[in-house]
Amino acid sequence: MARQARIKSSTGVYHVMLKGIDSRNIFMDEDDKLFFMEKLKRARELGEFKLYAYCLMDNHVHLLLKEGEELGVSIKRITVGYVRYHNQKYGRTGHLFQNRYNSEPVEDERYLLAVMRYIHNNPLKAHMVESQAEYIWSSYQKYLDAYKNIFSRVDTEIVQSYFKNSVDFEKFSCEENQDDCLDTRTLIKCTDEDIKELIKASNYYSRIMDLPKSERDECINQIYRETGSSIRQLSRVLGIGKRIIENAIKEL
């Protein structure tokens, strides 16, 4: 399947998202998150990248970083060891993360601030906590610590140069916004032929019209997520009514 080349950042700064394959959880408990943070710490030491923000959710991870070595090498340092740990712990094999991590370039400091806020607001939007500071698996609290001169492994200097104290930082972080970052936009879209090839290559997808309704809806949803296609495009390629596809996506 054809893929668009990644857009290189002229600043070396990227917003990266790692997602569980088929949207499955990549963290089952807090020990998993602790182990991932150790892999992140080690990769940062070896790759010498700057880490501006992070957030670990159950089925995905957000990172805001400035590459030292090539970005893909650093991401591989983080993920390979974690996948090995996860598979051994839970008695599974195969991929855990989607094969292709998502990334977007961050070309100026204004957008860097927006991405940071977006990342820290993830648990809030998911109704997991009532405030950013309650969530211990993001870098939000690290910024509050930095304003108290408590050592943090997050590179806070750029953000602190914009907000002279924690009150200003918290005000910015909590204000109403229309931040539109990586996973709220479709970055990689597939052509009709791409989708047809995907369906043809999968025994599961190719049987979509023979599946019970619940399985058919799940299949539609998986293709929708994997390809970044529109409802209209899926209707055209699959030969299924738009209303059926729309209901399947809403249902799941």
CA distances from 62 to 169, 194, 210 (A): 20, 27, 37
Domains of the chain: total: 2
Q: In percent, how much of the chain has pLDDT > 70?
A: 90
The CATH number assigned to the domain holding 86 equals 3.30.70.1290
Is 6 among the domain residues?
A: no
Asked if residues 117 and 29 have their Cβ atoms less than 8 Å apart, the reply is no
Predicted TM-score of the model (pTM): 0.71
Domain identity same for 70 and 177 = yes
Contact indicator for 96, 20 with CB cutoff of 8 Å: yes
pLDDT of residue 184: 43
Is 211:196 a contact under the CB 8 Å cutoff? no
**Statement: residue 252 has pLDDT above 70:** no
Q: Say yes or no: 114 and 171 in one domain.
A: yes
pLDDT digits 0-9 by tens, 124-135: 988 999 999 999
Last residue of one domain, picked from the residues 160, 184, 208: 184
Query: Domain ends where: 184, 219, 243?
Result: 184
Does 242 score more than 50 pLDDT? Answer: yes
Can you give the pLDDT at residue 214? 87
The predicted structure's pLDDT at residue 209: 84
Residues 24 and 144 placed together within one structural domain of the fold: yes
124 or 227, higher pLDDT: 124
Q: Are 117 and 208 found together in one domain?
A: no
Q: Assess whether 168 and 223 both reside in one domain.
A: no
Residue closest to 114 by CA, chosen among 35, 172, 187: 172
196 and 132 housed in the same domain: no
Distances (CA, A) of 252 to 98, 168, 178: 19, 39, 25
Q: Are 55 and 120 in contact (CB under 8 A)?
A: yes
Same domain, 119 and 214: no
Is residue 55 a contact partner of residue 32, using CB atoms and an 8 Å limit?
no
DSSP SS3 for 192: helix
Looking at residue 2, what is its pLDDT? 46
> pLDDT category, 251, cuts 50, 70, 90?
low
172 and 73, same structural domain?
Answer: yes
Span 105-114, average pLDDT: 91
| Cα–Cα distance list, 40 to 135, 156, 181 (Å) | 18, 17, 22
Are both 143 and 204 inside the same structural domain?
A: no
* Confidence (pLDDT) at 48: 95
Mean pLDDT on 201-216: 83
pLDDT confidence of residue 5: 61
Residue 8 is assigned to a structural domain of this protein: no
Integer Rg of the chain from CA: 20
Last-in-domain residue among 134, 151, 184: 184
Residues 146 and 105 in one domain: yes
Alpha carbon distances (Å) from 242 to 75, 76, 189, 223, 237: 38, 39, 19, 14, 11
Residue 242 belongs to domain spanning: 192-251
45-89 pLDDT, tens digit per residue, is: 999 999 999 999 999 999 999 999 999 999 999 999 999 999 999
Average pLDDT over all residues of the chain: 87
